Amino acid sequence: MTIYGTKMVRSCLQSAFPVFPMLKNYCSWEWQSFNPGIRQKVGPLHEEDGGTIIVEPVPVSKKPPLYAKSTQELDCHEEIWEVGLVLHNEGSGRCLAFFPTLEKITPAIEACLKKADILMVDGTFWSEDELTGMGAAARDAKSMGHLPISGPTGTLELLASFPAERKILIHINNSNPILKKDSVERNILERLGIEVAYDGMELEV
């Protein structure tokens, strides 16, 4: 099995969240680091198998997860923890932008969202105070590393303006009203041509 991720995630899986030490006696794997700004090929080993994909990692966040923040060896604010991915299909010439978390939309991220044929982006929360208003959490959406969909800092209008043929919200929290097919919020998305992901969803790029 080949695992792809950032250098900081690999360090975390070795120490603060020790998945690799636990698994070492059960299975083997190969690690491939994602380095922002460097495209790399993934897919079948032989070209005749088809489906070769070029992955373009894009920096998203330097914020470590809560369980790693107290680990001093991992507390490096200059390192990238999260990346978004632009998946380029060499055969079709099309691409998909995959950004399951967005704490802000940088110029580099916006450029990726503008050029992609299909968007899969952070739809965790509908509103900034979604969880705090319910009394379910002390932190709002932005402090958790997610832009809300609605509101003055939300992604809704920006997503609607992009030329992609499909725009799909993913990583949706169970508190988000867009999960209800008959909700006002779901109706707003549908009118703007924005989809809500579902288990088993398949896409062709």
Measured in whole angstroms, the distance separating CA 71 from the mean position of its chain's CA atoms is: 24
* Residue 168: Cβ-neighbour burial (10 angstroms; 0-12, 13-18, 19+): buried
What does DSSP assign to residue 127?
S
Q: Which residues of the chain have pLDDT under 50?
A: 45, 72, 74
* Domains of the chain, start order: 40-196 (3.60.15.10)
The pLDDT value given to residue 37: 84
H helices of the chain, in order, are: 7-14, 19-23, 66-69, 107-115, 130-134, 156-161, 184-191
Which residues are CB-contacts of 43 (< 8 A; sequence separation ≥ 6)?
49, 51, 52, 53
- So what's the pLDDT on residue 56? 95
Which of 80, 124, 86, 130 lies closest to 102, judged by CA? 124
Q: What pLDDT sits at residue 77? A: 52
**Dihedral sign (CA 125, 81, 153, 94):** negative
